[in-house]
Amino acid sequence: MRVSVRKGGSALSHAPDNWYAVDWRMVERNVRGMQIRIAKATREGDWRRVKALQRMLTRTLSAKLYAVRRVTQNQGARTAGVDRELWDSPESRWEAVGRLKRRGYKPLPLRRVFIPKANGKERPLGIPTMRDRATQALYLLALEPVSESTSDPNSYGFRLNRSTADAMSQIFVAMSQKGSARWVLEADIKGCFDWINHDWLETHVPMDTEILRKWLKAGLIYKGQLQATEAGTPQGGIISPTLANVTLNGLERELIAQLVAKFGIAKAKKLKVNVVRYADDFVITGDSREVLESEIRPWVETFLAQRGLQLSEEKTRIVHIDDGFDFLGWNFRKYSGKLLIKPSKKNVKAFYRKVSETISGNKTVRQEDLIRLLNPMLRGWAQYHSRVVAKTAYNRMEYLVFQRLRWWSKRRHPQKSTAWVGAKYFHSIGTRKWVFAAPIVWKDGSKGLFELYQVSGTTIKRHTKIRGDYNPFDPTWEQYGERLRQTRMEDSMRYRKQWAKLYMSQGGLCAHCGCALTDETGWHDHHLEYQMHGGTDALSNRVLLHPHCHQQVHTGKIAVTKPALQP
């Protein structure tokens, strides 16, 4: 039975009685409406109203549903915390919504795991339980509008619709001209997530202080031992990146304000100081080495010290743009006065090592399966660098991978000639020769070749940087945000042409619930007439759905119609 319900000022016209009865479009509308109100109060500086609205949002049914959906639809949903509990069924998710209560809430310790870093070292992660993850996602819904409204213009890490490419483009804007800044403070914070001062967080993060304190002091379990957490916010929690952003917010605004107060507007502008930050990595430009050494670095160290942080002496340095510097996997350097951005040597070596290890570790698999392993890696790396001067790096990588694959092929048939091995594993496709490809039978029964992704065929396209003052929770930016989201999703799909056509024909919306399809939500390819019933693989018989909508459609045997094609 369904009844009308109103909780905390956010109404669902019909209260759902199970997970599949949820109207997700209404849920998103309710949550977004509250977030817009929180952002408006933040911009007006009405902090009492911000606090009241945050409290209201975290108690609504819509926000709890949204939080549970978020933590059960991402990749981390398959990783359990210390309680080994997973919400992998609609029933468990529905039950979880009712458990998201502030009264009596006590988070469990985090499960400590380590993942490999590009430099060969290991990065520590703290894995919360599903309930703690959902609670963090719930309070993040209330914190994010405040964080976005108070963030520095050129902070790009872990923020809506911002990316590493935006940070790269801003550096290009700041340093590409003849009269641009020539010196760079390349900064690295020593163990940022591990050393943030808890007292500072509790005092300055605009959220429920009691809940925040419980998360920060929850502790870690490693090898069966409970370890106290006296500082830092563990990597692995949904809210941790936003907490780190809030901690470093002001690095740009306060630095510029300090320079203006000391030197005046005209002279401060001549110093050509620009701050570009992605999470805890940042660079600061300046017109002279002396300014960066005597004015900027001491101020940054004081700013960080107040938050319990410090710069890494080994990794922090001041360099001239003619010598170049690495940032976010790219190398920025001027050649005869022209700024070129290329994949960094460190990034290229680390990626080739990963590809080489994948090939070496799969000596006996079928050629088709090896291609399936390599293609996402090659496509992802190539697309990441498709905004910079990468053609030389592409060609070099393609040659190195070819050599490894030739070794892989020859090793499988040591008694056969090179010509025989080449004819078996490599083919000519169009004008391209020696293409690593496997014979395959496609879904429609036709035969063809399943080829390795061509890295050198990746199109280089200049990135359009996001506006620095864009706020996703300000209604005046609504149309800009929609165009930006659709453009970037189209770009991410451009090497998956059929999905791109479906996405465009649906206006970027799920064919079932009508909510936006994004990289975060993911999407599934649904056949309107099931293939087992004779449905074809043609685009006219397919639509894109959210993963949870896809499951809902199949479980409830719901008919989905093809959206009208958009011009």
| 54-72 pLDDT per residue, tens | 999 999 999 999 999 999 9
**Token pair recorded at residue 233:** 């916010």
pLDDT at 567: 44
- For the sheet with 110-116, list strands across it: 122-127, 110-116, 220-222, 225-227
pLDDT at 523: 80
**Token pair recorded at residue 126:** 């703290």
pLDDT at 9: 43
Tell me which residue of 203, 292, 216, 268 sits closest to 301, measured CA to CA: 292
Contact of 546 with 512, CB cutoff 8 Å: yes
Mind listing the pLDDT tens digit for each residue in 94-134?
999 999 999 999 999 999 888 877 666 777 888 999 999 99
State how far Cα 20 lies from the chain centre: 28
Average pLDDT over residues 468-479: 93
Average pLDDT over residues 155-184: 95
Percent of the chain scored above 70 by pLDDT?
Answer: 95
Mind listing the pLDDT tens digit for each residue in 212-269?
999 999 998 888 888 888 888 877 789 999 999 999 999 999 999 999 999 999 999 9
- Partners of residue 438 on adjacent β-strands: 450
**Token pair recorded at residue 284:** 């600061």
Distance CA 66, CA 277 (A): 29
Q: How confident is the model at residue 559 (pLDDT cuts 50, 70, 90)?
A: confident
What radius of gyration, in Å, describes the C-alpha atoms of the chain?
Answer: 26
Q: Classify residue 517 by its DSSP letter.
A: P
Residue 15 has pLDDT above 50, yes or no: yes
pLDDT at 446: 80
pLDDT at 8: 42
Distance CA 72, CA 79 (A): 10
* 524 φ/ψ angles, rounded to the nearest 5 degrees: -120, 150
Tell me which residue of 70, 62, 59 sits closest to 16, measured CA to CA: 62
Mind listing the pLDDT tens digit for each residue in 485-521?
888 877 777 667 777 788 888 888 888 888 888 877 7
Mind listing the pLDDT tens digit for each residue in 30-42?
999 999 999 999 9
Mind listing the pLDDT tens digit for each residue in 315-354?
899 999 999 999 999 999 999 999 999 999 999 999 999 9
Q: How confident is the model at residue 405 (pLDDT cuts 50, 70, 90)?
A: very high
Q: Buried b vs exposed e over 444-453: b needs ≥16 C-beta within 10 Å?
A: eeeeeebbbb
Average pLDDT over residues 438-447: 82
pLDDT at 49: 98
pLDDT at 11: 55
* 532 φ/ψ angles, rounded to the nearest 5 degrees: -70, -15
Q: Which residues contact 64 (CB under 8 A, 6 or more apart)?
A: 97, 100, 134, 138
Q: Which residues contact 496 (CB under 8 A, 6 or more apart)?
A: none
Contact of 513 with 549, CB cutoff 8 Å: yes
Q: How confident is the model at residue 204 (pLDDT cuts 50, 70, 90)?
A: very high
Residue 394 has pLDDT above 80, yes or no: yes
pLDDT at 482: 86
pLDDT at 10: 46
Percent of the chain scored above 90 by pLDDT?
Answer: 67
* Average of per-residue pLDDT values in the chain: 90
**From its phi and psi, is residue 177 left (phi > 0), alpha (psi between -120 and 50) or beta?**
beta
